[in-house]
Amino acid sequence: VVILGIETSCDETAAAVIRDGNEILSNVIASQIEIHKRFGGVVPEVASRKHVESINGVVAEAMERAGVTFDDLSAVAVTYGPGLVGALLTGVSFAKALSFAKGIPLIGVQHIAGHIYANFLSGGMEPPLLALVVSGGHTEVVHMPSHGEFAFLGRTRDDAAGEAYDKVARSMGLDYPGGPVIDRLAQEGNPEAYPFPRAWIDEESIDFSFSGLKSAVINTLHNAEQRGETVSKQDVAASFQAAVVEVLVEKTVRAVRKTGVKNVVVAGGVAANKGLRKRLTERAEEVGFSVHFPSLDLCTDNAAMIAAAAFPLYEQGKFHDLDLNAIASLSLTKWAATPTI
Ligand code: ATP
Ligand code: MG
Ligand code: FE
């Protein structure tokens, strides 16, 4: 089974060819980060236009590197939400045209399901499991009893973890996206230099809140500036990261204890974080559960994860019609409940 995956939900134009759900034949990503950097974030109109310019070349390169032609494809899979609607439409339109022209099945994939299935590509994913989703726009703990079934155990009430990283980085005058930069600085700082707040919410809660932490960091920087003091960026980064990681890890432990599910995967861009990978691995050993992370290059947006998420649907013969449309706010549970033919 050879599936072409396409991903254009945000600022990466990506295409990948995957065999049998987990063998990567090619994985091509054209990032627009350099273009959006000077705006400090993604500009939707610019993103849409760039996707249109890049999609043909990115797909052609993925096919060539995989050594396959369109006639070899079993199906085409594409992200149809959530994301920027103009950006999503580029991928969806391309996939529909290809499905129609070659008479191959079309499989629409929810982007966060894709992030979760990035774990499938490195062999570490067998439901029932818990997924800690930590991306640029989402932070949630998901229970996945079987392939294609999802239930939320907890979620952020304000900022997503990646968003908190990006906003704090911006206030520190660091480059976009801020997550990797703060992660790097944090390795050289003292995580106990600043006692930033941890939002536990209450003893049972698996929900998250990062806006108070973000404000505390901004206030610390602001106060130091007013007093004419210099702060160590390394210390601020390390203290901020310690606060984020402690909450993410301990809430995951709560979810494990609450459900008795001892199989955890991590998903989304923040899954690349060194501090999170280290601490969650340590705690899993102490508490007695297994934890799996995607390989580093598959944590952020890519199309390999989209093709991987489509594989179980392909096996079940669940395909979409050519009336598939981009849905900006498509949720994981809504996607799972969507009846496909
Ligand atoms: P979503 O998937 O929710 O739609 P997105 O696609 O924009 O959002 P991802 O591609 O999953 O997000 O991840 C990008 C985010 O991950 C950014 O916020 C970025 O700062 C963060 N990130 C990437 N690497 C790291 C890291 N090493 N540490 C912390 N955050 C990181
Ligand atoms: Mg991105
Ligand atoms: Fe993403």
Question: Helix/strand/coil (H, E, C) string of 139-150?
Answer: EEEEEECCCCCC
For the stretch 307-319, pLDDT in tens is: 999 999 999 999 9
Known binding-site positions: 111, 115, 133-137, 166, 179, 183, 273, 301
Q: What is the pTM of this model?
A: 0.97
Residue 63 CA, distance from chain mean position: 24
Question: To 10 degrees, the CA torsion angle through 259, 261, 263, 265?
Answer: -30
Residue 40 pLDDT: 78
Tokens of 314: 């392909």
- Residue identifier of the C-alpha nearest atom 12 of ligand 1: 136
Other CB atoms within a 10 A radius of the CB of residue 272 amount to 22
Q: Is 182 helix (H, G, I), strand (E, B) or coil?
A: helix
Cβ < 6 Å from ligand 1: which residues? 10, 83, 111, 115, 135-138, 162, 165-166, 177-180, 183, 268-270, 272-273, 300-301
CA separation for the pair 301, 304 (Å, rounded): 9
The angle formed by the CA atoms of residues 67, 108 and 19, to the nearest 5 degrees, is 30
Residue 163 CB partners (closer than 8 Å, separation 6+): 136, 137, 210
Q: Which of 244, 82, 115, 71 is nearest to 169 (CA)?
A: 244
- Output the CA 10–ligand 2 centroid distance in Å: 6
Other CB atoms within a 10 A radius of the CB of residue 147 amount to 18
**Whose structure tokens read 């968003």?**
163
- Output the CA 226–ligand 2 centroid distance in Å: 34
Secondary element (H or E) of residue 308: helix 304-315
Ligand approaching nearest to the C-alpha of 176: 1
Residue 273 phi, psi dihedral angles, 5° rounding: -65, 125
CA separation for the pair 244, 249 (Å, rounded): 9
pLDDT confidence tier of residue 290, bands split at 50, 70 and 90: very high
Full DSSP string of 184-222: HHHTTS-TTSS-------SSS---B--HHHHHHHHHHHH
Ligand approaching nearest to the C-alpha of 269: 1
- Residue identifier of the C-alpha nearest atom 7 of ligand 1: 136
- Output the CA 104–ligand 1 centroid distance in Å: 32
Contact at 8 Å (CB) between 306 and 77? yes
Contact at 8 Å (CB) between 277 and 269? no
For the stretch 223-276, pLDDT in tens is: 999 999 999 999 999 999 999 999 999 999 999 999 999 999 999 999 999 999
For the stretch 62-119, pLDDT in tens is: 999 999 999 999 999 999 999 999 999 999 999 999 999 999 999 999 999 999 999 9
CA separation for the pair 95, 100 (Å, rounded): 9
Residue 341 pLDDT: 62
Residue 153 CA, distance from chain mean position: 18
- DSSP 8-state class, residue 67: T
Protein residues near ligand 3, an ion, with CB under 5 A: 135, 301
CA separation for the pair 265, 206 (Å, rounded): 16
